[in-house]
A and B are shown apart, each in its own frame.
Chain A
Amino acid sequence: MSVISVKSLKEFYKVHQKEPGFAGSLKALFKRKYYDVKAVDDISFEIKEGELVGFIGPNGAGKTTTLKCLSGLLYPTGGEVRVLGFNPWDRKTQFLKQISLVMGQKNQLWWDLPAIETFNLNKEIYEVPDAQYRKTLDELVSLMEIQNILKVQVRKLSLGQRMKCELIAALLHSPKVLFLDEPTIGLDVVSQKKILDFIREYNRKYQATIILTSHYMGDIEQLCQRVLIIDQGKLCFDGQLSDIIQKYADHKLVSLVLNKEVDPRVVAEMFPVKRYSYPRLILSVKRDQVATITARALENLPVADLSIEEPAIEDIIRELFTGKDYA
């Protein structure tokens, strides 16, 4: 059964465009130019209960706008959205009690108070029973390992510590649907891993439906089997992460270690070089030519080691967004 259902969702808005400098500002006082932004342009998808879906796209693609429509913050220009059977925009209490939106760059904790005070307040706001609150809080605090910072004012916490507290504040009411917008942005690798492990565990334990946006493909690869790719407001891909390689990567990487230096110009003449920095040589080879090129390399180059790999998903996505070829 679909927990999230999106049909032909559109979100357009007008933006004032100001010419640079003081003269531009003066001119804008009297006459302003507006242009339409199609932040989300006719996208449709369904997400089942318990799915953890990656939502990726370049900056300004429409990811956050979509999440804001799904959580009822924005009134859509067109289309139909159902989350847990509710129309998000109605912002019914029963709906809001079952969802949560975490934005990596925004802060819902009371800045001058310890995080535990915000947790206690959220307990009241979401009407979480005492026993359930204590149990959930203990679990989340121990999963995140933040026992020692609960009583420290939020303004004195590091970014990573704050993000952990933000996540706990968002999860105390055990939401069934979780929208995570860049939850690992700006974090070091240790904090990043902790947050990702936590999201995985939360999804497994509570069967929560999660949509995760991130600019770090590593986050998506670690957590999500299914991804949605959005660009310029349009949905360009909806499928398994592994299918991206099949669909968009028409080449493999042949990685060689040479035991003797060869003139780069000679190598470039004979092989499709992706990168060469002695002793490492990487060739980007069309899938149907892998056997031929590999045989030629073994014959003509002083090869000490050889391996054939799929290109990194991050590279494919980058090339996809740069080349804009979604055929």
Chain B
Amino acid sequence: MLRYLRLYYHFFRNSLIRLFEFRFNVFILSVVQIVWLGVMLGSITLIFGQVDSLAGWRKQEVLILAVIAMLFHDIMEMLFMGNLQRFSYYVRHGEFDFILLKPVNARFLASFRQAEFYNIFRMAAMIFVLTKLLPQANVQPSGGQWALFLGFFVAGLIVFYNLFFLVTTTNFWLINVFNFNDIFDRLLSAGRYPVDIFKGRIKWFFLYIIPLGLVGTFSTEILFGKLRPLSLIFAGFALVLTTLVSEFFWRFALKHYQSASS
């Protein structure tokens, strides 16, 4: 475990060095990302110019949820989404060989070897916005609430990592399926709204099949002092199930890897 933490430190360090190589790009992207944050918050404010609540959620609550869900997305992007998006390229061009040749867990290397920091200023901006929004909504979470919030948040990250990785693994057969990234992007965007906006079976589908609640709804509710029935059990179940299934599928898929031409 210590070895992998040390390795991750080196990946992180190299990624930062790489980032500083392209400082103008970082500046432009940061500006664009922060503008997007403003657009998202502005559009929610516009909606609440017409209605008082959205599926029982007040304006400040929806804003907090949207920021937390976007933070969720940006952390995913920083830690592993870039690597999984490049996975298809590596398989198609045979560069995945170098991942398999290293005496390190190949899944770890494929998932985390390069961190992306393009959203880092937006993440800082979001944390700042949260510190303003929480008091406005009269929310003062206790230490326990923050701990439970973090638990849900991290569980959500792991579940979505497992799902994304599971889909990415199909590249061994399908070779070029990076469009799945777009689907995940859309799902994560949908997670910025309370799952309660869906009704009936669709709500059930988005809660438990595609666990959108884990993007932000469940964790944000903890800050408001609510705990949705079964959400704790569901988060634990989803965590274990997706970890097992994605790992089993990965090991199976490795046997079908056909290195590209050299």
Contact = CB atoms under 8 A, between A and B. Distances in A.
A96 interface: yes
B220 to A, nearest CB: 38
B262 interface: yes
B94 to A, nearest CB: 6
A126 to B, nearest CB: 6
A243 B258 CA distance: 35
Interface string A91-120: 101111101110101111010110001001
B3 interface: yes
Contact of B259 (A68, A126, A153): A68
Interface in A224-275: none
A96 B101 contact: yes
B17 A106 contact: no
B90 to A, nearest CB: 11
Nearest to A124: B10
Interface string A56-81: 00000000100010011111000000
Given A68-B97, A101-B97, A124-B6, A75 B18 contact: no
A216 interface: no
Contacts of A97: 103
A291 interface: no
B33 to A, nearest CB: 21
Contacts of A108: 95, 98
21 contacts: A64-B262, A72-B100, A72-B101, A75-B257, A93-B103, A93-B104, A94-B103, A97-B103, A100-B101, A103-B97, A105-B262, A106-B94, A106-B262, A107-B95, A110-B14, A112-B18, A113-B14, A117-B17, A125-B102, A153-B21, A181-B262
Interface of B: 3, 6-7, 10-11, 14, 17-18, 21-22, 93-95, 97-98, 100-104, 106, 254-259, 262
Given A96-B103, A126-B103, 6 more contacts: A75-B256, A93-B104, A110-B18, A120-B10, A125-B103, A182-B262
